[in-house]
Structure 1
Amino acid sequence: MDSVRTPDSETAEPSDTPASPSLGHKVRSAARWSLINTVVMRLGNFATGILLARFALGPAEWGVYGIAQTVLLVLLSANELGVGLAIVRWDGDPRRFAPTVLTLGTASSVLLYAAIFVSAPTVAGLLDSPGASGVLRVMCLCLVLDGVAQVPAGYLTREFAQGKRMVIDALNFVLSTAVTLVLAFAGWGAMSFAWGAVAGNVAALLGCALAAPGMLRFGWDPGQARALLRFGLPLAGASLLALAVVNVDTMVVGSSLGSVALGFYVLAFNMSGWPVRIISEAARRVSFAGFSRLAASPEALAQGFSRALGVLVTGTVPLCVLLGGLAEPVVRLVYGSTWVPAASALPWLMALGLVRIGCELAYDCLVAAGQRRSLILVQGLWVVALVPVLVAGARLGGIVGVSQGHVVVAAVLVVPVFLYALGRAGISPAHIVRACTWPFLGGAVMTVVTLAAKRLLGDGIVALFAIGATALACYVVCVLPSRRFLLGARTPEAA
């Protein structure tokens, strides 16, 4: 297992101090706030997306936005060189090494922004979306804001201060949404997303600075910097590869099929991410800090991961089944008939979303366990296998072929490799099977019930609600045998 080096020692290992008695309370409280935060923010984003798709923007504008968002996400994964996680992971008072983290992160993000500002026309041209150049230059200002905000935000995560994070995210959402809507209805097109994102990130930075006073202080310690880079660069590489996995499809669709097809694909992909973002994001704001406390005990880590996975999968499977099985009527109902072509890719992307939830939780667990090299190998293998499959899928089947290629690579190659990496960290396949058996059985029953009821009742609004209620009732019955296991998962140490 790779050691986690601290700023004061070249050879220090992660703390093996057992979780304190207050950890369970902190995790439960943080998880509740994180879930509330994520649900509220995602419902707000969902409503905003409906307004924009129905009344302000078309598929071409969504395609341009998709290109800019993809580039931004990829750059964000590397903009602070992975050193920001030290605020969450390292032992001791983070104020001792926070100034060096802030200096490194800010400097790297400024350099990255300068590079994307100069290369924006070339990047947009390569992705067959010349109109995205200006949007890229504006939206990627978020790189610099993120580089500065990483230290106070990391400190809040370390302290499980998800109540404060909810307030900050609310400010971000309100300001970014207001700016985006005003500019979109004024005819600014995809540029409205860019300025909205910048406005929201400014609000988030100010909120983080107020919630974690004293954390925005620049400084430099060469010894700390060396240790931070040794800790962070492998994580930045793994994170960059992880972002490439879920964003290379946007580049393939944009360059192969054009901005209109990309707009349909981006909408379908965003819909498939609803369960991931609502449930998985809420968990990930707590999971890394929680797993880090358990990393010294392989048995406790395995039990904690198994139960966390069980909770995530149990909550996600019914959403994936309903959105996949009722894709076309849901798209028509929510976004209008203009966007119906997006529904053809949605069932496959829902399957991918379910895989992503498990892989993202495994990613956090492997980082906490110090398996950084394994992460790089897994993510690198995923990207290398994915690119040719997606290119072939785009040529043979359009956005549906791309979606199918994603699922094939994930199921056939990536999941087995992740299982092997988890096994090296002490998490056996038995732990995975225990977490997933009942939810997967319930999902299979839900699928049969949904498709049969849809054929019998049709796809009207009343029928959709009746089908959903019936399928959910069947699912609940199927997962009832796992309730004791899931209820015991409320805290990592309870495992």
Structure 2
Amino acid sequence: MDETYIQDVKKKSIIGVATLIARTFFLQIVSLIAMFILTILLSPSVFGIYYIVLAIINILNYFADIGLASALIQKKDEPGSEDYKTTFTIQQLLVSVSVLIFLLLSESIGSFFNLTNEGIFLLRALLISFFLSSLKTIPSVILERKLEFGRKVVPQILEVLSFNIVTVFLAWRGFGLTSFAYAALVRGVVGVVAIYILSPWKLGFGISRSSARSLLSFGIPLQAGAILALVKDDLLTIYLGKVIPIKAEIGYIGWAKRWSEVPLRQFMDNIIAVSFPVYSRIQHNKEVLRKALEKTTFFTALFIFPGVVAMVILIKPVALVIPGYFSKWQFAFFSFYLLSVNAILASLSSPLVQALNALGKVKTTFILMLVWTFLTWAIIPILVSRLGFNGFAIGSFIISLTAFLPIFLIRRYTPYSPIKPLLKPTIGTIIMALSMSIPLATIGSSLFGVILAIISGVTLYSLFIYKTSKAEVAPLFLQLIKTIKMR
């Protein structure tokens, strides 16, 4: 593989990760502030209905996408016009038919889940938003293949800003659950307009048999694994929404899951978004792939380990500082702690699953997902029936202990080892945890104690990483600073 090409991919991957982290840091602040305000303005039962409806839409998303977009990204050669038109046409046929069916069945779906009229309206609004989102696929694929993540993030920024601003404003005005519905429609329109301005693509219809056959040979097994993930996650949420009579308890599960995954959404999603196309570009060079995987493991742990541990330490003190917040959400804390362990283990396994997909080993990842899906449905429903809503987190924790499986699988194709990349972030996180616990233990759960704990933890962790890993982190942070200044 040409050294110049490898260096170009490396440069673009660093820029991509830095750009996405800068974007997500900003958007997470916006989303977390909005989420916090909404958890004050809206009741847990409203969030319970929202999570159920969102899970229904996610199901639709999986069945309306048969992996063609991922196949275009993974494709070794540059896709042609026929590839793009074939993907767009097949996807739009699936999306249009699916949306129409769900719109016609919306009343029945609402009746089945005991949704209010507002819940049914939310379902319909999210269906329309889903259709609008499907129109962005080809322009997004074009940018992703070019590793132009700087342009790709702009529509996402506009979408998140518009959604959160509209949701909070309408919730403040008393719209309740329908706040999410109107915000979803605004987000859908904003996203489509923005992506076509930044990545123009002339809409075209047509199906090439040879192109479809080639893309589907990769896309269908990949999407089969995604559908299993759907059965494992979103279908389970829908099932719980039916068997758990108190919607507030679904809200507790959603709250715990949402907050425990904040570090994943902030860092891991961005790393994976870059790593899949990058791994696809370097899949022929096993040594380069090994180095890329170990670098991914290092940076994932560098950000996610301290992020998760800090949230575990701070969640209760912060809730106690805010009037009325602890009493409202305290029942979700136990689930939050267990799901936080899941987040750490998922941060290690998810990039490796993406690497297997980039290598074209979609059948292997399908079997892996099959195992996780079986365990999910074999364990969680039983625990929920016996232990209540906390059974979800307990079962998820048990299943997360199998996160080591992708390590053994990826080692069949490259001599990857996670031990060295994990060592420094793990030690640094332990130091950070101790430094944060001391002020909270001595001062107590006060605003001053929380601020002091954050300053102490960030300072000591940063100093440790600077002393032990300066050469590894410097390129990313320099690019991150440059990206922030450009914004």
Give the structure-1-normalised TM-score.
0.87
Paired with 1:163 and 1:236, the residues of 2 have a C-alpha distance of 27
The 3 A distance-change label for structure 1 pair 398 and 450 is farther
Paired with 1:393 and 1:481, the residues of 2 have a C-alpha distance of 45
* Pick aligned residue for 1:346 from 323, 330, 336: 336
1:365 partner SS: helix
2:56–2:238 contact (8 Å) kept in structure 1:
no
Pairwise CA distance, 1:252: 4.7
Q: Percentage identity across aligned positions?
A: 18
**How many residues of Structure 1 are paired with residues of Structure 2 in the alignment?**
471
Tell me which residue corresponds to 1:107. 93
Tell me which residue corresponds to 1:274. 262
User: Is 2:343 the partner of 1:380?
Assistant: no
User: Is 2:63 the partner of 1:74?
Assistant: no
The 3 A distance-change label for structure 1 pair 276 and 214 is same
Paired with 1:439 and 1:109, the residues of 2 have a C-alpha distance of 43
1:84–1:105 contact (8 Å) kept in structure 2:
no
2:389 partner SS: helix
Tell me which residue corresponds to 2:394. 404
After superposition, residues 370-449 of structure 1 pair within 5 angstroms as: 370-411=360-401, 413=402, 415-428=403-416, 431-449=417-435
Tell me which residue corresponds to 1:234. 221
Tell me which residue corresponds to 1:11. none
The 3 A distance-change label for structure 1 pair 487 and 342 is same
* Pick aligned residue for 1:360 from 341, 350, 353: 350
User: Is 2:154 the partner of 1:144?
Assistant: no
User: Is 2:192 the partner of 1:205?
Assistant: yes
Cα distance per residue 1:99-157 (max 9 Å; x no partner): 11110111111122223224444545555656643322221223322322111111111
Which amino acid is the alignment partner of residue 137 of structure 1?
A: R
1:72–1:139 contact (8 Å) kept in structure 2:
yes
2:48–2:247 contact (8 Å) kept in structure 1:
yes
Paired with 2:169 and 2:235, the residues of 1 have a C-alpha distance of 31
Pairwise CA distance, 1:344: 2.7
RMSD, aligned α-carbons: 2.6
Tell me which residue corresponds to 1:336. 325
Cα distance per residue 1:241-295 (max 9 Å; x no partner): 2344443553354233321111122122111121011111222221111111111
The 3 A distance-change label for structure 1 pair 145 and 347 is same
Tell me which residue corresponds to 1:313. 301
The 3 A distance-change label for structure 1 pair 396 and 333 is farther
Paired with 1:180 and 1:468, the residues of 2 have a C-alpha distance of 30
Q: Which one is further off, 450-459 or 363-372?
A: 450-459
Paired with 1:481 and 1:245, the residues of 2 have a C-alpha distance of 42
1:238–1:375 contact (8 Å) kept in structure 2:
yes
Which amino acid is the alignment partner of residue 14 of structure 2?
A: R
1:26 partner SS: helix
After superposition, residues 444-463 of structure 1 pair within 5 angstroms as: 444-451=430-437, 453-463=439-449
2:130–2:188 contact (8 Å) kept in structure 1:
no
Paired with 1:170 and 1:254, the residues of 2 have a C-alpha distance of 31
Pairwise CA distance, 1:160: 1.9
Structure 1 unaligned spans of 5+: 1-15
Cα distance per residue 1:321-369 (max 9 Å; x no partner): 1111232222344682322322232111111112222232122211111
Structure 2 unaligned spans of 5+: 478-487
Paired with 1:380 and 1:462, the residues of 2 have a C-alpha distance of 48
Tell me which residue corresponds to 2:142. 155
Tell me which residue corresponds to 1:164. 151
Paired with 1:489 and 1:119, the residues of 2 have a C-alpha distance of 52
Give the structure-2-normalised TM-score.
0.89
Paired with 1:439 and 1:97, the residues of 2 have a C-alpha distance of 42
2:264–2:347 contact (8 Å) kept in structure 1:
yes
Paired with 1:386 and 1:125, the residues of 2 have a C-alpha distance of 27
The 3 A distance-change label for structure 1 pair 349 and 489 is farther
Paired with 1:177 and 1:58, the residues of 2 have a C-alpha distance of 17
Paired with 2:90 and 2:375, the residues of 1 have a C-alpha distance of 33
